Structure 1
């Protein structure tokens, strides 16, 4: 007779554990195809939901980190393939423009201005990807540039360790200027003496989700809202594995399902390898900015 009350008490207690209460988490993305035993970082999904691009250090690429893509078949990601634009250096941080015409990414390939630079490659209507083009000198400097992301109004958000920020890696933003970008400025109000990387826009540019390093050696994902034309104090993203010891980063909105996003990290379960890709509910944007 005591079994049922005991079971109910146990069930109630489980509802308040961190893993059970994280109702925003939907699970791993593409087990065995996208998320594998290797490390996977930062996924971007086409507006029609038929293609996913991400960075991986798995075997089969051109060397180091490479960009990969997979297509949706019977509601599953299938046929993962490395992109032809990969080099013997590293290609990381893909971002597909909202119109699907350009694939932005970062690379430390030969011929750049120094370290990692930002590039974009044209994407044809049939899905073919053309030769990559470096962004102009207003963006690429002798230091490193990583993690490009575009807002609806064309603003480019990226991370860099160049001088002029708060210290170390910071987030920078550049307005669209014709077919290029104006000189970038640091994202004051978010940047700190820690490292801020992997920024991306939420709510059409009215909020920013980004990764910040911590004293424990981990990297956690945070969210800042624009309020009264300023960036609010950042709040930690509610995610069971977004802990002080974690390496959680690379959050991007799913362009096909704007209420969801994909983030790189390492959960206890499900788990495929090192850094995996996980799908979760996107944070609510309650900004008063326009």
Structure 2
């Protein structure tokens, strides 16, 4: 695994929605994970032995597919399309905290809307079960995106453009079991498109993308819970996380605490249209009160 981490400049960010350091980053798995094609949202299994991501590279059924690489001697090797890909879109994967499930988005036939959320069991031998569509409390007639299961495995955070939101895509949470209706993430949503979300500080802070999907722009923001809502969102100080650019899909790496991945395009190192980068996660402190005690 290539880790050409750049120079880090620490910036103290207290009080308010404390941002973090000017982040270190390095391209992830150049020519294996990050290639000349478009890659999106790299998720690492809790044991650190595999990474799954979305790509439009050739070799899968088409439409955008999920790919997997294995970790050997700290390098990502042997990229392969996953066996449950279809000619439709499969994208935006995320492992559960216990590694037993892989969540993803697809517009395959049989859904409620254009893009729906699914999960597939991860077997002990490294194989996969059959994909199952998530509940009607999560999926709607609109478009669902970017599933992120909670640490306890009982809830899910995701994006949707369903009716009743602030505009465009908004961030929601819902329990994974049952058909309880999803509710918006308090304070995070605006008339722009909020899509990806990664929890920081045990859910007391949020790292997410905000932008304009139609214009192809996205920027990562950090917001801390003020006891009732995620307040005072500010752009994260990653060098290529710029206004008018395209930086999104933050994912924590459970196998390497304090690190994660994002998708974007840096001037250097750079492999293709969009690459996956390893980053040091922001150090942010918020208050309790923005997450339920458990579940959704």
Secondary structure at the counterpart of residue 243 of structure 2: coil
Q: Comparing both chains, which one has the higher relative contact order based on Cα–Cα distances under 8 Å and sequence gaps of 6 or more?
A: 2
The number of residues matched between the two structures is 270
Deviation, structure 1 residue 205: 2.0
Task: Tell which structure's C-alpha radius of gyration is larger.
Answer: 1
Displacement, 1:285? 2.5
In the alignment, does 2:230 pair up with 1:231?
yes
Q: Which residue of 1 aligns with 2:107?
A: 108
1:186 to 146, 159, 184: 184
Q: Aligned equivalents of 1:216 and 1:146: distance in 2?
A: 17
RMSD over equivalenced CA pairs, Å: 1.9
Q: Is the 8 A contact 2:23 2:239 kept in 1?
A: no
- What are structure 2's unaligned runs of at least 5 residues? 1-6, 10-20, 290-296
Given that residues 199 and 206 in structure 2 are in contact (C-alpha distance below 8 angstroms), is that contact kept between their aligned partners in structure 1?
A: yes
Q: Distance in 2 between matches of 1:180 and 1:208?
A: 25
Aligned to 1:168: 168
Summarize the Cα distance change of 1:216–1:122 in structure 2 as closer, same or farther, 3 Å threshold: closer
Number of the residue aligned with 1:220: 219
Structure 1 residue 24, shift from structure 2 partner: 2.2
With the length of structure 2 as denominator, give the TM-score of the two structures. 0.87
Is the aligned partner of 1:159 residue 2:198?
no
**2:91 equivalent to 1:88:** no
How do 1:51-70 residues align onto structure 2 when only pairs under 5 Å count?
51-70=50-69
- Deviation at residue 168 of structure 1 after TM alignment: 1.1
Q: What SS does the aligned partner of 1:121 have?
A: strand
TM-score by length of structure 1 reads 0.88
Please list the CA deviations of residues 174-232 of structure 1 after superposition, one character each: whole Å capped at 9, or x if unmatched: 134xx446311111311001111112222332222111115985210111111223212
Question: Are residues 1:26 and 2:25 paired?
Answer: yes
Map 1:31-42; keep pairs closer than 5 Å.
Answer: 31-42=30-41
Q: Pick the structure with more helix per residue.
A: 1
CA contact (8 A) 2:8 2:22 kept: no
List, as ranges, runs of 4+ consecutive aligned residues in structure 1 with deviation greater than 4 Å: 214-217
Q: Which runs of 5+ in 1 are unaligned?
A: 1-13, 17-21
Counterpart in the other structure of 2:3? none
